[in-house]
Chain A
Amino acid sequence: DTAVSQTPKYLVTQMGNDKSIKCEQNLGHDTMYWYKQDSKKFLKIMFSYNNKELIINETVPNRFSPKSPDKAHLNLHINSLELGDSAVYFCASANKWGGADGADTQYFGPGTRLTVL
């Protein structure tokens, strides 16, 4: 059973194209995230949704648009792809946004390796 799944696993595309990455979690979690891991392996948050509501929107170009049709899905659409968008994009989910005990463990999907040519 895959807890957090992403499609596609690999994505190779030309500059200027528009592409989407899909994420689904079957853990019943309320909160989902998108992270970008660049070539230096630094993992940076991009967006977070809690119960379909946007909570975190980092300083990300507006070419990136997340969409959460329901609690179990968080998709990422990227317009006008640029060379610098090449990275691994990870989706993650957590049981809840946070409570008295602080942040919940986040469970990551397998990643989507995006290469922009």
Chain B
Amino acid sequence: RKEVEQDPGPFNVPEGATVAFNCTYSNSASQSFFWYRQDCRKEPKLLMSVYSSGNEDGRFTAQLNRASQYISLLIRDSKLSDSATYLCVVNSRGSTLGRLYFGRGTQLTVWP
């Protein structure tokens, strides 16, 4: 079983739509959770960290459910510029604390 599983999509939504991505992780001892964004032919960049109580950054809301080992990302009022691949990322614990495991990514296309 992979450390991080994501629905690869693609998700094709019109501008202004609300879209949600989900992700599950296998290591219950994981401690840090992130969403990264990767544009076509570019490097991954941090979109937001995910905190236990859930957190919001403008149009983006991240949720964490530790009991179900499930992470979500909600994008409201989608913009054309949101088109990208969204990577769910978790760390491991213990001696490999700094190691991050990346999901395969969910591709989003926002159309006008």
Contact = CB atoms under 8 A, between A and B. Distances in A.
Interface of A: 31, 40-45, 48, 50, 55-56, 90, 94, 96-99, 101-111
Interface of B: 31-32, 34, 42-46, 49, 85, 87, 91, 93, 96-100, 102, 104-105
Given A48-B99, A103-B31, A103-B98, A98 B43 contact: no
Contact of B32 (A31, A45, A56, A102): A102
18 contacts: A41-B85, A41-B104, A42-B102, A44-B102, A55-B96, A55-B98, A98-B91, A98-B98, A101-B31, A102-B32, A102-B91, A102-B93, A103-B31, A103-B98, A103-B100, A106-B100, A108-B45, A111-B43
Contacts of B93: 102
A81 B43 CA distance: 23
A110 B43 CA distance: 5
B43 A48 contact: no
A45 B99 contact: yes
A41 B98 contact: no
